[in-house]
Amino acid sequence: MIQDIPIHHRTIGVNFNQSGDATTTVWAPAANQVEITFEGKKLELQKQKSGYWQLQTTELNPGTNYKFVLDGKTELPDPASLFQPEGVHGPSQTIAITQFAWTDHSWKNLSLRDYILYELHTGTFTPEGTFAAIEQKLDYLKELGVNAIEVMPVAQFPGNHNWGYDGVFTFAVQNSYGGAKGLQHLINTCHQKGIAVVLDVVYNHLGPEGNYLGAYGPYFTNKYHTPWGNAINFDDASCEGVRRYFIENALMWFRDFHVDALRLDAVHAIKDASPTHILQEIKMHVDRLMKETGRTHYLIVELDLNDTRYIKSQEEQGYGMDAQWIDEFHHALRVTATQEKTGYYSDFTGIEHLAKAYQDAYVYDGQYSLHRKKDFGMKVESNRGQQFVVFAQNHDQVGNRMLGERISHLVSFEMQKLLAGAVLVSPYLPMLFMGEEWAETHPFLYFVSHSDQELIDAVRKGRKEEFAAFHAQGEAPDPMAEETFLHSKLQWELMNTEPHFTLWMYYKELIELRKQLPALYELNRKHVKAIPNSKMQTLFLH
Amino acid sequence: MIQDIPIHHRTIGVNFNQSGDATTTVWAPAANQVEITFEGKKLELQKQKSGYWQLQTTELNPGTNYKFVLDGKTELPDPASLFQPEGVHGPSQTIAITQFAWTDHSWKNLSLRDYILYELHTGTFTPEGTFAAIEQKLDYLKELGVNAIEVMPVAQFPGNHNWGYDGVFTFAVQNSYGGAKGLQHLINTCHQKGIAVVLDVVYNHLGPEGNYLGAYGPYFTNKYHTPWGNAINFDDASCEGVRRYFIENALMWFRDFHVDALRLDAVHAIKDASPTHILQEIKMHVDRLMKETGRTHYLIVELDLNDTRYIKSQEEQGYGMDAQWIDEFHHALRVTATQEKTGYYSDFTGIEHLAKAYQDAYVYDGQYSLHRKKDFGMKVESNRGQQFVVFAQNHDQVGNRMLGERISHLVSFEMQKLLAGAVLVSPYLPMLFMGEEWAETHPFLYFVSHSDQELIDAVRKGRKEEFAAFHAQGEAPDPMAEETFLHSKLQWELMNTEPHFTLWMYYKELIELRKQLPALYELNRKHVKAIPNSKMQTLFLH
């Protein structure tokens, strides 16, 4: 279903018009009264249709802390808050989000097939851990040759240390990173330097601490179970308010932040049996936005299903996503390099599967998977190479190891070069993980900074159980410890020492080569012939 | 995924070859040992691939009671049992299912568009409540003019009284109805008399008593919730064994019972995120069977989704189902006739919605539904009229009322005629519910005959809560009472009295008219123009 959603501005949360008047809108379908409280005042919102409440007032100014009061009881932050200056449990703060002085008018998004992606985590990419500090590294990234940074999720999460997948305010940019203005400034600077920005967003669950959405309405449903509990309600009763929340979120990043592409986290966990899947509906609205603005935006999904329904065009009854991650390429590559055999690696043979990934994108396209205990996947037919993102490592593949070892901790220097080559000559979109290019020696560990003790205990227990599947030995670093976070930061000074500098030069040259050779930048999967030789452990690509 | 499933014979359960040797196969992926026990003997099955266990033996004969023994412990009936002579908790019994002496070689399934359906419940259609007794009524049905009986589910359920939706042996035909041979005999006779047989099958859940499947393997998953608890595992780990179980079941009814069409119960509760939905996979195998035998079989689904994905062809990325029920036609018709406004009827305006159902099939094709609290449905585009089954009542619409009132208890005699006309002039497949044609005065109540006291209490409590939604007054008849069952039986003697006989003649003539007038039997939705007049409460169809 295509909802009647304006594309020029947000309709939920607090928004200012040209003359500075504020419109406050919140979805609270079960409430009998909704008030907004700020600066000691309390104003009542008026009931609208479909469970929305609204107030237009001249009394609210940008930079004001506020909360909502439902039925005269608890004060709660705004589900569509743009800023949480005191964190997830504190008040929301109004922002005049459209007032940023953009200077990227001449920026034009790159062609997707030209993307050379670089995944980074704002908190650990630099010593400062802020958007402003990333800006200082953009010249470095340009020199390396990458042209698209992929920023791990920035939606407000509890505390200061988190990968980002525990965000609970989908519209608010993490306060400790620099908030909305910091992100706008970073993107503006990226565009001036010719770098695209991909933002990682999480539409499959909310984090376990500071999630106040359930108090406002049926944002969750027990129809489906996900690894994080009840699924987000995209198809059960009252789902329209929830669908609008996420559609408007996607539109906001593109429109008000000039984001070039979204990377949607684990979309297989977005459960939706509606005639129009929420991803398809997001795509339709993004198409409207692009038509209106003339700008180009991409939707890239993380998908664990090997199902082209997601990346087929809408004309082909697909969801119309532009590209998807293929973890299987990584797994096949990883097993080839390290002969790992535990957990999900048990499904991969190494070089034969790598050859299949080069040719067919999906390794499992119908065969029985021992790890999944079922036949898995379908054949990729018409989809082009630029619809698949590949990597030799990413935040998950590194950080979900008990000791957070990067690939450089596990294989020889020469093998690292081979892996870099394997990714950068592939007929797919290559992605590096921050620090990979100089073989960073710090790990990238799993860290959180929750304040709820029960939750902290549960997280520690959960990590332990996860590692049991990989038969990991020893103790996992404490996710709550400050030193776990600090120990995950990049060490920029390493780059100027050997052998790090040599590897860095190698990456730089490979990227340069990829940009120059048509055989490499023309992402035609069908022109690739991959011939594996298991005995010699070699693979010919031509 | 298309599984390698032979279409010529069942591969699970006990099956006899031409020379009478038995092959016993059972899926028990977690077992370490599987034995079959019969006539005091115990033979061990051999482990095969994919969790199957098998034994070939000359010691088993047709008509032998047997059970399986898992890991030397409890004796259990066969999940693919063809017969449970002593009910759901007793032993299974072997049957030489392919040995029935069919004499319907000249039978050719009717064109779907010519179907005039008659839904019946074996236990209450006749005083005897058996398949043999149905045979005695076939001449009556022929005289009435219906040409397809739709038999409510016959898979073995607990006790002797049940609508059939509590079946727990998907392959075994209810012992108290006459078992597999009784059903084969009935269908053979139907075909000789030119009557098609539609069998109602339940692939979305198993009943709560006597369900031993969970002991054998992961037949259920907690990934999804259904109204009956955990969903059947069509896409989680080890789902192949489960998918095969249901695919082979569909094939068996068509191949070994000569069933003409299956009516698949509530397919919206079949949860499957696989690239190939289980319905689509069933369709592919049925297509193989039809190609092989030259016979025609239809798949008709009960669907509460208003989603043409189910009935679009596989070329159009649909699931390829031949037809679906449209309850909305019933609801609109019912509200027009009775002005009911409780429960799901609250979504229907009456005559305007009825006009929409005539023209567009789906009443809700994108609008907001107050009852569902969300936008609901999509537009029907290319689908033909013969893809939709309509009715003025069915087992659910009657039996789910607290007092099981048929429409004849609720509206005037003249209105009953109008309703009959509304269904029989529609550009859809018409279906009557047994006894409707003579305004049966007995209700059709909800009845069960469980033996588990906790379950009995839960059923009684559940019914009560359900009626609360309809603001029903008074006490519901006890579903466990024998008299509730007996009071639901048809009274055939009524037909020869007035006003019952007049109504019967009216139905007979209407059906005759439908068969003769091209305007009625050519089911072209697009040729129908329905103009409602709310003030006059009239509807012009032309």
pLDDT at B462: 82
Rounded to whole angstroms, how far apart are CA atoms B396 and A492?
A: 70
Give the distance from CA B110 to its chain's centroid: 19
- Tens of pLDDT along A140-154? 999 999 999 999 999
User: Confidence class of residue A228 from pLDDT cuts 50, 70 and 90?
Assistant: confident
Cβ–Cβ of A373/B223 closer than 8 Å? no
Residues of A in contact with B372 (CB under 8 A): 237
Rounded to whole angstroms, how far apart are CA atoms A478 and A476?
A: 6
pLDDT at A96: 96
Cβ atoms of B19 and B12 within 8 Å: the answer is no
Rounded to whole angstroms, how far apart are CA atoms A84 and A175?
A: 6
- What is the rounded average pLDDT of the residues B293-321? 96
pLDDT at A465: 78
Rounded to whole angstroms, how far apart are CA atoms A300 and A311?
A: 9
Least CA distance to A228: which residue of chain B?
B223
The residues, ordered by sequence, that sit 6+ positions from A468 with a Cβ below 8 Å of its Cβ are: none
Give percent above pLDDT 70 in chain A: 98
- Tens of pLDDT along B367-425? 999 999 999 999 999 899 999 999 999 999 999 899 999 999 999 999 999 999 999 99
Determine which of B178-192, B221-235, B317-331 has the lowest per-residue pLDDT on average.
B221-235
- What is the rounded average pLDDT of the residues B76-82? 98
Rounded to whole angstroms, how far apart are CA atoms A85 and A180?
A: 11
pLDDT at A339: 87
Amino acid at A412: S
- Helix and strand counts by DSSP (H, E) for chain A: 15, 25
- What is the rounded average pLDDT of the residues B145-171? 97
Active site residue B260: no
Burial of B259 (0-12, 13-18, 19+ CB in 10 A): buried
Contact A239/B at CB under 8 A: yes
User: Confidence class of residue A262 from pLDDT cuts 50, 70 and 90?
Assistant: very high
Chain A: give the shortest CA distance to residue B224, in Å.
Answer: 5
Cβ–Cβ of A235/B366 closer than 8 Å? no
pLDDT at A521: 72
User: Confidence class of residue B471 from pLDDT cuts 50, 70 and 90?
Assistant: low
Task: Give backbone dihedrals phi and psi of B264, rounded to 5 degrees, phi first.
Answer: -90, 120
Exposure b/e, B35-55, CB count within 10 A at least 16 = b: bbebeeeeeebeeeeebbbeb
End-to-end CA distance of chain A: 45
Active site residue B360: no
pLDDT at A489: 98
Determine which of A44-53, A167-176, B470-479 has the lowest per-residue pLDDT on average.
B470-479
Rounded to whole angstroms, how far apart are CA atoms B1 and B233?
A: 15
pLDDT at A469: 64
Which residue is it, tokens 């006291």? B453
Cβ atoms of B104 and B258 within 8 Å: the answer is yes
User: Confidence class of residue B474 from pLDDT cuts 50, 70 and 90?
Assistant: confident
Please check the confidence at residue B465 and state whether its pLDDT lies above 70: yes
User: Confidence class of residue B173 from pLDDT cuts 50, 70 and 90?
Assistant: very high
User: Confidence class of residue B302 from pLDDT cuts 50, 70 and 90?
Assistant: very high
Cβ atoms of A443 and A489 within 8 Å: the answer is no
User: Confidence class of residue B358 from pLDDT cuts 50, 70 and 90?
Assistant: very high
Element (H, E) at B531: strand B530-533
Q: How many CB atoms lie within 10 A of CB A224?
A: 24
Domains by residue range for chain B, with CATH: 13-99 (2.60.40.10), 112-541 (3.20.20.80)
User: Confidence class of residue A468 from pLDDT cuts 50, 70 and 90?
Assistant: confident
CA dihedral B80, B82, B85, B86 (to 10 degrees): 20
pLDDT at B30: 93
Please check the confidence at residue B271 and state whether its pLDDT lies above 60: yes
Amino acid at B332: A
Token pair in block for residue A219: 């944002």
Positive or negative: CA dihedral A494, A495, A496, A499: positive
Q: How many CB atoms lie within 10 A of CB A83?
A: 24
Rounded to whole angstroms, how far apart are CA atoms B139 and B126?
A: 14
Rounded to whole angstroms, how far apart are CA atoms A345 and A339?
A: 9
pLDDT at A470: 63
- What is the rounded average pLDDT of the residues A462-482? 79
Positive or negative: CA dihedral A229, A234, A239, A242: positive
B468-to-A215, A246, B245, B463, B475 alpha-carbon distances in Å: 27, 35, 38, 9, 11
The ipTM, to two decimals, is 0.84
B312-to-B263, B276, B304, B316, B358 alpha-carbon distances in Å: 17, 14, 16, 6, 19
Least CA distance to B2: which residue of chain A?
A366
Give percent above pLDDT 90 in chain A: 85
Token pair in block for residue B458: 């839960």
A187-to-A164, B65, B243 alpha-carbon distances in Å: 18, 74, 49
Please check the confidence at residue A273 and state whether its pLDDT lies above 60: yes
Cβ atoms of B184 and B100 within 8 Å: the answer is yes
The residues, ordered by sequence, that sit 6+ positions from B215 with a Cβ below 8 Å of its Cβ are: B70, B74, B76
Determine which of A412-416, A455-459, B432-436 has the lowest per-residue pLDDT on average.
A455-459
User: Confidence class of residue B348 from pLDDT cuts 50, 70 and 90?
Assistant: very high
Catalytic residue among B302, B328, B396, B440: B302
Please check the confidence at residue A171 and state whether its pLDDT lies above 90: yes
What residues of A are labeled active site? Answer: 265, 302
Residue A133 three-state SS: helix
- Tens of pLDDT along A24-33? 999 999 999 9
User: Confidence class of residue A245 from pLDDT cuts 50, 70 and 90?
Assistant: very high
The residues with which A46 forms a beta bridge, in sequence order, are A54
Please check the confidence at residue B540 and state whether its pLDDT lies above 80: no
- Tens of pLDDT along A320-379? 999 999 999 999 999 999 988 888 999 999 899 999 999 999 999 999 999 999 999 999
Contact B377/A at CB under 8 A: yes
The residues, ordered by sequence, that sit 6+ positions from B40 with a Cβ below 8 Å of its Cβ are: none
Pick the residue with more confidence: A95 or B472? A95
The residues, ordered by sequence, that sit 6+ positions from A1 with a Cβ below 8 Å of its Cβ are: A240, A274, A275, A276, A281, B366, B375, B378
What mean pLDDT is reported for chain B?
94
Please count the residue pairs, one from chain A and one from chain B, whose beta carbons lie less than 8 angstroms apart: 65
Rounded to whole angstroms, how far apart are CA atoms A201 and A282?
A: 13
What DSSP assignment string belongs to A383-414?
--GGGEEEES--HHHHHTSTT---GGGTS-HH
CA count, 13 A, side-chain hemisphere, A48 = 15
The residues, ordered by sequence, that sit 6+ positions from A541 with a Cβ below 8 Å of its Cβ are: A358, A425, A528, A529, A530
pLDDT at B472: 62
Residue A232 three-state SS: strand
Rounded to whole angstroms, how far apart are CA atoms B473 and A18?
A: 58
Cβ atoms of B80 and B168 within 8 Å: the answer is no
pLDDT at A183: 98
Q: Nearest 5 degrees, angle CA B51-CA B56-CA B62? A: 110
Cβ atoms of A260 and A196 within 8 Å: the answer is yes
Contact A371/B at CB under 8 A: no
Rounded to whole angstroms, how far apart are CA atoms B103 and B87?
A: 30
Cβ–Cβ of A276/B378 closer than 8 Å? yes
Nearest to A223 among B225, B306, B375 (CB): B225
Please check the confidence at residue A161 and state whether its pLDDT lies above 90: yes
Contact A113/B at CB under 8 A: no
Cβ atoms of A148 and A300 within 8 Å: the answer is no
Looking at chain B from residue 24 to 63, which residues have their Cβ under 8 Å from any Cβ of chain A? 50
The residues with which A504 forms a beta bridge, in sequence order, are none
Pick the residue with more confidence: B23 or A527? B23
pLDDT at A277: 96
Contact B378/A at CB under 8 A: yes
Contact A273/B at CB under 8 A: yes
User: Confidence class of residue A229 from pLDDT cuts 50, 70 and 90?
Assistant: confident
- Tens of pLDDT along A81-112? 999 999 999 999 999 999 999 999 999 999 99
Do β-strands A13-16 and A22-27 pair in parallel, antiparallel, or remain unpaired?
A: antiparallel
Burial of A420 (0-12, 13-18, 19+ CB in 10 A): buried
Please check the confidence at residue A2 and state whether its pLDDT lies above 80: no
What mean pLDDT is reported for chain A?
94
Cβ atoms of A75 and A216 within 8 Å: the answer is no
Cβ atoms of A170 and A82 within 8 Å: the answer is no
Cβ atoms of B56 and B47 within 8 Å: the answer is no
